[in-house]
Structure 1
Amino acid sequence: MGYRNKNTGYVNDILASRSVIKRANYAIIPPDGLVNNSIPGFENCELSILATPKLGATFVDYIITLLDGGQNKAGFGGEGIETFFYCLEGKITVWADDAEHTLEAGGYIYCPAGVILKFANSNGGANSEAFLYKKKYEAVAGYETHVVVNNVANLEKIAYEGMKDVILQNLLPADLGFDMNFHILSFEPGACHGYIETHYQEHGAYMLSGEGVYNLDNEWVPVKKGDYLFMGAYVPQATYAVGRGEAFSYLYSKDCNRDPQL
C-alpha cells in the first residue's frame, strides 16, 4: 500500500495530523497520511481516494501520480457515470469517443455518462500528476452533455462578485445538460469571499497554490497547496487568502442545474 508522501519509518515527532473528518458535513485531508490504493485498471499509478459516499459525498475524487508507464487503458467511467480529469503536472494523453488529446498542466477533459475515458502518462519517462472525479449523471429529458477538452489558460477570468482580486474560471459550459461544473477560484493574499456562503450545493476542492484560512461550519482552519476539502450541503463556508507572494487557488466541483429530489 504505502503512503502518498513516500515517508517510511518513524517520524521525529509525536503523531499528529491536520486532518478533520466530519462525515456529511466537511473534511480537511492533507497529503500526509494519504495511502496509495490498488484499483483494477490503473497500472503504474499511485492513486489516493479522497471523497466518497462513505464521507457523505455524492461523487468520488482521486489524486493520482502516473509513473513512467502509468495508464488506465481498461477505461474509466461507463454507463450512467460522468467523469472529469485534470492534469496538475506533466503531460498525459487521453482518449474519449475514439479521439485522442494531449493534456499538459491546466488541461482537462470532461466525459459524459457512457463515454469511456482512457489515459496514459506521456511525459518522457517523468511522472505526471492528475485529479480525477466521477459521479452518477442525473439526466433531464431534452438536454444532454458532450465531451469537453480545454486548458484553463484559454478560459475567461471573471472578477468574482465584482472583486478584482478574486478570479473565477468556469471549466464547463453554462448548459442545462450538465448537472455539475468545475471552477477555479483564485484569491490574491488578503482577498476573501464577500460573505460566508450557506447553500445546497456540495463541493470537493483541491488546493492548487498558496495558503488560506477556511471557515467550515464556523470553524476557521488553515489550508494550503496540496490539501483537499470536502464541503457538504449547507455547511457554512468562506476563505481568506494568506501567505506571501502567491495567490491561494483551488479547483472545485459543484452540482448544479437540477431540482432537488424528494
Structure 2
Amino acid sequence: MGYLNNVTGYRNDLLANRAIVKHGNYALLTPDGLVKNSIPGFENCDATILSTPKLGATFVDYLVTLHQGGGNQAGFGGEGIETFFYVISGKVTAQADGKTFALTEGGYLYCPPGVIMTFTNAQSADSQIFLYKRRYIPVAGHAPYLVSGNTSQLEQIHYEGMEDVILMDFLPKDLGFDMNMHILSFAPGASHGYIETHVQEHGAYILSGQGVYNLDNNWVPVQKGDYIFMGAYSLQAGYGVGRGEAFSYIYSKDCNRDVEI
C-alpha cells in the first residue's frame, strides 16, 4: 500500500488534511492521504477506492491510474452489477459484450448488469480513469443496454436555464436505467440556483477548477482532484470560484425508481 500523492516520510509541517468524513451524510476526500489499494484483477495500476457501502453509499467509486500495459483483464462487473467507465486523461482500450472501444479523454462506457468489461492502457504514458459500480434495481418491462461515447458528442444543456452552468447527461432518459452519470460545469461566479435536498445520492470527482461547496449547510472549499460523497437528503450546492477555469465535476445519481419499504 502506498499513497496516491506519492509523498512518504516525515512532513516539514504539522500534520493536517482538508478531508471530512461524515458517514452516511457526506464526505470530502482530498488526494493527500488517500491510499493505493491492492485489488484482484487490477494489474500495473494505482487504484484508490472512494465511496463504498462502508461510507454509506449504495455504489462504489474508484480512481485508477493505469501505467504502461496496465489494466484489468480479469473483468470488472458481474451478475446483477452495472458499471461505468470514464477516461479522465490518456487513451484506453476497453472491451465489453464482444465489442472493442478506443476511448480517449472524455470517453465513457456503461455496461448493464451481467456484462463484464475489461480495459488496458493504450499508450506508454499513464492514463487515468474514474470507475463506478452499483447493484442494479430492475423494473418490469424495461432493461438497460450498453452505451459508449465521448463528452465532445454530448448536448451541453443550460442547467435550469442558467447560461453559465452547463450540464451534460451520459445516459438516455429511459426507465431501463436506474442511474445516470453527468458532468456539471460552473463558470467562475456561477452557482446552483438553490441549496438542494433530495433522496438521490452522489459521488462526484472534480475534474477542473475550484469551488465552494455546501455540504449539509457547511461551506467547504474544494478543487480539482478532490472527491465528494453526498448521501440521501444531505443539503448540497456549489459555487464556481477561481480565475478563468470552470469548476467542473463528473458525478453519479440514482434515478427512475420508487423507494422500497
TM-score w.r.t. length of structure 2: 0.99
SS of the aligned residue for 1:5 comes to coil
The Cα of 1:217 is off from its aligned counterpart by 0.5
The Cα of 1:10 is off from its aligned counterpart by 1.2
Task: List, as ranges, runs of 4+ consecutive aligned residues in structure 1 with deviation greater than 4 Å.
Answer: none
Residue matched to 1:212: 211
Residue matched to 2:232: 233
The Cα of 1:11 is off from its aligned counterpart by 1.4
Cα distance between partner residues in 1 of 2:47 and 2:187: 31
Please list, as runs of the form range in 1=range in 2, the aligned pairs for 1:87-166 lying within 5 A after superposition.
87-123=87-123, 125-166=124-165
1:247 matched to 2:246? The reply is yes
Residue matched to 1:40: 40
Q: Which amino acid aligns with 1:194?
A: G
SS of the aligned residue for 2:5 comes to coil
Residue matched to 2:4: 4
Cα distance between partner residues in 2 of 1:251 and 1:71: 21
Write out per-residue CA displacement over residues 204-258 of structure 1, whole angstroms, 9 at most, x where no aligned residue.
0000000000001000000000000000000110011100010000000000000
Write out per-residue CA displacement over residues 150-203 of structure 1, whole angstroms, 9 at most, x where no aligned residue.
000100000000000000000110000000000000000000000000000000
Could you tell me which runs of 5 or more consecutive residues in structure 2 were left unpaired when the two chains were aligned. Answer: none
Residue matched to 1:29: 29
SS of the aligned residue for 1:100 comes to strand
Q: Which amino acid aligns with 1:54?
A: K
SS of the aligned residue for 1:164 comes to coil
Residue matched to 1:77: 77
Write out per-residue CA displacement over residues 9-44 of structure 1, whole angstroms, 9 at most, x where no aligned residue.
111110000000000000000011010011110000
Cα distance between partner residues in 1 of 2:103 and 2:8: 32
Q: Which amino acid aligns with 1:45?
A: C
Between the two proteins, the alignment pairs up a number of residues equal to: 261
Cα distance between partner residues in 2 of 1:74 and 1:217: 39
SS of the aligned residue for 2:152 comes to helix
1:183 matched to 2:178? The reply is no
- Structural RMSD (CA): 0.4
Residue matched to 1:170: 169
Cα distance between partner residues in 2 of 1:106 and 1:215: 27
Q: Which amino acid aligns with 1:21?
A: V
Cα distance between partner residues in 2 of 1:12 and 1:251: 34
Cα distance between partner residues in 2 of 1:170 and 1:134: 18
The Cα of 1:69 is off from its aligned counterpart by 1.1
Q: Which amino acid aligns with 2:258?
A: D
Cα distance between partner residues in 1 of 2:229 and 2:33: 16
Residue matched to 2:49: 49
SS of the aligned residue for 1:239 comes to strand
SS of the aligned residue for 2:47 comes to strand
Cα distance between partner residues in 1 of 2:35 and 2:13: 20
Cα distance between partner residues in 2 of 1:128 and 1:10: 29
Identity percentage of aligned residues: 67
